[in-house]
Structure 1
Amino acid sequence: MSTSSFPPALAPEQLRRCCDPARLGFASTAELEPLPEGLGQERAEEALHFGLGMAHPGYHVFVLGEPGTSRHTTVFRLLQDMAARGRTPPDLCYLHNFEDPRTPRLLRLPAGRGARLRADLQQLVRELTPAIDAALDADSHVDRVEALQDNHKKREEEAIAALGKAAEAEGLGLLNTAEGFVFAPMREGQPMSPEDFEALSEAEHQAVEASVETWTLKLADLLADFPGWRQELQEAIARAERQALRPVLAHLTRGLRRHYADLAEVLAFIDAIRDDVIDCVAQGKLGEEEGAEEAEPEGPKVGFQRYQVNLLVDHSETRGAPVVCEDNPGFGNLIGSIEHLPLPGGQSTHFSMIRPGALHRASGGYLVLDAGRLLTQPFAWDGLKRALRSGRIAIEPPAEAQGWSSQATLRPEPAPCQVKVVLVGERELYYLLMENDPDFSELFKVAADFEDELLRTPENEASFARLLASLVRGAGLLPFDGAATALLIEEAARHAEHAERLSLHTRYLGDLMREAEYQARRADPDVSQVGSAAIRAALAARARRADRYPRHVLESTLEGSTLISTDGERAGQANALVVVELAGERYGHPVRVTATARVGDGDVVDIERETELGGAIHSKGVLIITAFLAARYARHQPLSLAASLVFEQSYGQVEGDSASLAELCALLSALAQAPIRQSLALTGSVNQFGEVQVIGGVNEKIEGFYDLCKARGLTGDQGVLIPAASVPHLMLRPDVVEAAAAGRFHVWPVATVDEAMELLTGLPAGEPDARGHLPRGSLNERVAQALAEMTAALHPLHPEERPAWRKSVRHNRFSGS
Structure 2
Amino acid sequence: MLLKPAQLYHACNPDLLTFETTEELEHLSETIGQERVIESIRFGVDMPHSGYNLYVMGSNGLGRHTLVHESLIKQSMDTAVPLDWCYVANFQDPHKPTALGIPAGMGRLLSRDMEQLIDNLIKAIPAAFRGDEYQRQAREIQEDFSRRESAMVQRLGEEAERLDVKLMQGPSGFTLAAQKDGKILSQEEFKQLPEEEQARLGNSIETMKQALKESMSHVPEWQREMQQRFSQLNRETMQLTVTEFINELVQRYRDNSKISTYLEQAKQDIIENVDIFRQAGESNEKSFTAQDPEFTRYRVNVLVDNGDTQGAPVLFEDNPTYQNLLGRIEHQARFGALQTDFTLIKQGALHRANGGFLMLDAEKVLTNPFAWEGLKRALRSREIRIESLERQLSLISTISLEPETIPLDLKVVLIGSRSLFYLLKEYDPEFGLLFKVSADFAEQLPREHENELLYARLIATLQKREGIRAIQRDGVARIIEQLVRLSSNGDKISLRMSSLLELLLEADHRAGLRDSKQIERMDVEAAIQARRFRNNQYEEQLQEAILDGTLRIDTSGIQLAQINGLTYLQLGDHAFGAPTRISATARMGGGEFIDIERETKQGGPIHSKGVMILSSYIGQRYAKNQLLSVTASLVFEQTYGTIEGDSASAAELCALLSAMGDIPLKQSLAITGSVNQHGQMQAIGGVCQKIEGFFDICQARGLTREHGVIIPTANVKDLMLKQEIVEAAEAGLFKVYAVEHVEQAMELLTGLPAGVPDEEGLFPEGSINYLIQLRLAEWITLRLHYAGQSLDGEPRD
Q: TM range, normalised to the smaller chain?
A: over 0.9
Q: Residues 91 and 109 of structure 1 are in contact (CA less than 8 Å); yes or no, is this contact kept in structure 2?
A: yes
Q: Partner residue of 1:515?
A: 506
Q: Partner residue of 1:595?
A: 584
Distance, in Å, in 2 between the alignment partners of 1:638 and 1:202 is: 157
Map 1:222-301; keep pairs closer than 5 Å.
226-281=219-274, 300-301=291-292
Q: Where do 5+ consecutive residues of structure 2 fail to align?
A: none
Q: Does 1:15 align with 2:5?
A: no
Q: Partner residue of 1:776?
A: 765
Q: Partner residue of 2:383?
A: 392
Change (3 A) 1:724 1:173: farther
Query: Aligned AA for 2:699?
Result: K
| Deviation, structure 1 residue 629 | 2.8
Distance, in Å, in 2 between the alignment partners of 1:756 and 1:110 is: 76
Distance, in Å, in 1 between the alignment partners of 2:49 and 2:352 is: 21
Q: Partner residue of 1:814?
A: none
Q: Partner residue of 1:54?
A: 47
Q: Does 1:485 align with 2:476?
A: yes
Query: Aligned AA for 1:610?
Result: E
Q: Does 1:651 align with 2:640?
A: yes
Deviation sequence 1:292-322 (CA, Å, 0-9, x none): xx9xx98622222222211111111112111
Distance, in Å, in 1 between the alignment partners of 2:590 and 2:186 is: 140
Q: Partner residue of 1:66?
A: 59
Change (3 A) 1:216 1:453: farther
Change (3 A) 1:585 1:801: closer
Deviation sequence 1:381-416 (CA, Å, 0-9, x none): 111111111111111123445677644211111111
Q: Does 1:351 align with 2:342?
A: yes
Change (3 A) 1:134 1:598: same
**Identical columns (%):** 42
Identify the match of residue 415 of structure 1 among 406, 413, 416: 406
| Deviation, structure 1 residue 735 | 1.9
Q: Partner residue of 1:553?
A: 542
Deviation sequence 1:152-175 (CA, Å, 0-9, x none): 345446546656766777777666
Deviation sequence 1:511-562 (CA, Å, 0-9, x none): 00100010011012xx221100000010111111111111111111111111
Name which of structure 1's ranges 74-83 and 279-288 shifts more when overlaid on structure 2.
279-288
Q: Partner residue of 1:452?
A: 443
Map 1:128-527; keep pairs closer than 5 Å.
128-156=121-149, 158-159=151-152, 162=155, 226-281=219-274, 300-400=291-391, 406-524=397-515, 527=516
Map 1:757-796; keep pairs closer than 5 Å.
757-794=746-783, 796=786
| Deviation, structure 1 residue 38 | 2.0
Query: Aligned AA for 1:690?
Result: G
Name which of structure 1's ranges 571-580 and 591-600 shifts more when overlaid on structure 2.
591-600
* Count of residue pairs brought into register by the alignment: 791
Change (3 A) 1:251 1:612: same
Q: Partner residue of 1:708?
A: 697
| Deviation, structure 1 residue 104 | 1.1
Q: Partner residue of 1:291?
A: none
**The residue matched to 2:470 in structure 1 has which SS?**
coil
Distance, in Å, in 1 between the alignment partners of 2:724 and 2:370 is: 54
Q: Partner residue of 1:672?
A: 661
**The residue matched to 1:799 in structure 2 has which SS?**
coil
Query: Aligned AA for 2:650?
Result: L
Query: Aligned AA for 2:386?
Result: I
Distance, in Å, in 1 between the alignment partners of 2:280 and 2:246 is: 20
Change (3 A) 1:547 1:194: same
Change (3 A) 1:11 1:231: farther
Q: Does 1:661 align with 2:654?
A: no
Identify the match of residue 567 of structure 1 among 537, 551, 556: 556
Distance, in Å, in 1 between the alignment partners of 2:533 and 2:216 is: 103
| Deviation, structure 1 residue 428 | 0.9
Change (3 A) 1:154 1:639: farther
Change (3 A) 1:283 1:68: closer
Query: Aligned AA for 2:653?
Result: L
Query: Aligned AA for 1:321?
Result: A
Change (3 A) 1:217 1:740: farther
Distance, in Å, in 1 between the alignment partners of 2:480 and 2:666 is: 37
Name which of structure 1's ranges 257-266 and 323-332 shifts more when overlaid on structure 2.
257-266
Q: Partner residue of 2:17?
A: 24
Q: Residues 323 and 367 of structure 1 are in contact (CA less than 8 Å); yes or no, is this contact kept in structure 2?
A: yes
Distance, in Å, in 2 between the alignment partners of 1:197 and 1:791 is: 158
Distance, in Å, in 2 between the alignment partners of 1:212 and 1:590 is: 131
Q: Residues 392 and 414 of structure 1 are in contact (CA less than 8 Å); yes or no, is this contact kept in structure 2?
A: yes
**The residue matched to 1:586 in structure 2 has which SS?**
strand
Q: Partner residue of 1:5?
A: none
Name which of structure 1's ranges 97-106 and 72-81 shifts more when overlaid on structure 2.
72-81
Distance, in Å, in 2 between the alignment partners of 1:86 and 1:662 is: 61
Q: Partner residue of 1:739?
A: 728
Q: Where do 5+ consecutive residues of structure 1 fail to align?
A: 1-7, 289-293, 808-817
Change (3 A) 1:302 1:789: same
Distance, in Å, in 1 between the alignment partners of 2:435 and 2:320 is: 17
**The residue matched to 1:438 in structure 2 has which SS?**
coil
Map 1:740-755; keep pairs closer than 5 Å.
740-755=729-744
Q: TM-score under structure 2 normalisation? A: 0.92
Distance, in Å, in 1 between the alignment partners of 2:793 and 2:335 is: 97
Q: Partner residue of 2:99?
A: 106
Q: Residues 242 and 282 of structure 1 are in contact (CA less than 8 Å); yes or no, is this contact kept in structure 2?
A: no
Q: Does 1:120 align with 2:110?
A: no
**The residue matched to 2:733 in structure 1 has which SS?**
coil
Change (3 A) 1:212 1:489: farther
Q: Partner residue of 2:81?
A: 88
Query: Aligned AA for 1:432?
Result: L
Change (3 A) 1:801 1:29: closer
Name which of structure 1's ranges 693-702 and 747-756 shifts more when overlaid on structure 2.
747-756
| Deviation, structure 1 residue 447 | 0.8
Query: Aligned AA for 1:414?
Result: T
Distance, in Å, in 2 between the alignment partners of 1:342 and 1:657 is: 65
| Deviation, structure 1 residue 497 | 0.8
Deviation sequence 1:25-66 (CA, Å, 0-9, x none): 100000000111221111221111111110011111111111
Distance, in Å, in 2 between the alignment partners of 1:207 and 1:563 is: 143
| Deviation, structure 1 residue 283 | 7.9
Q: Does 1:624 align with 2:613?
A: yes
Distance, in Å, in 2 between the alignment partners of 1:757 and 1:217 is: 137
Q: Does 1:33 align with 2:26?
A: yes
Distance, in Å, in 2 between the alignment partners of 1:90 and 1:170 is: 83
Distance, in Å, in 2 between the alignment partners of 1:207 and 1:607 is: 136
Q: Partner residue of 1:683?
A: 672
Change (3 A) 1:165 1:71: same
Identify the match of residue 44 of structure 1 among 24, 37, 41: 37
Q: Residues 325 and 367 of structure 1 are in contact (CA less than 8 Å); yes or no, is this contact kept in structure 2?
A: yes
| Deviation, structure 1 residue 182 | 6.5
Q: CA RMSD in A?
A: 3.1
Q: Partner residue of 1:635?
A: 624
Q: Residues 569 and 677 of structure 1 are in contact (CA less than 8 Å); yes or no, is this contact kept in structure 2?
A: yes
**The residue matched to 2:463 in structure 1 has which SS?**
helix
Q: Partner residue of 1:614?
A: 603
**The residue matched to 1:722 in structure 2 has which SS?**
strand
| Deviation, structure 1 residue 198 | 7.9
Name which of structure 1's ranges 731-740 and 538-547 shifts more when overlaid on structure 2.
731-740
Query: Aligned AA for 1:367?
Result: L
Identify the match of residue 697 of structure 1 among 676, 686, 690: 686
Change (3 A) 1:243 1:771: same
Q: Residues 238 and 274 of structure 2 are in contact (CA less than 8 Å); yes or no, is this contact kept in structure 1?
A: no
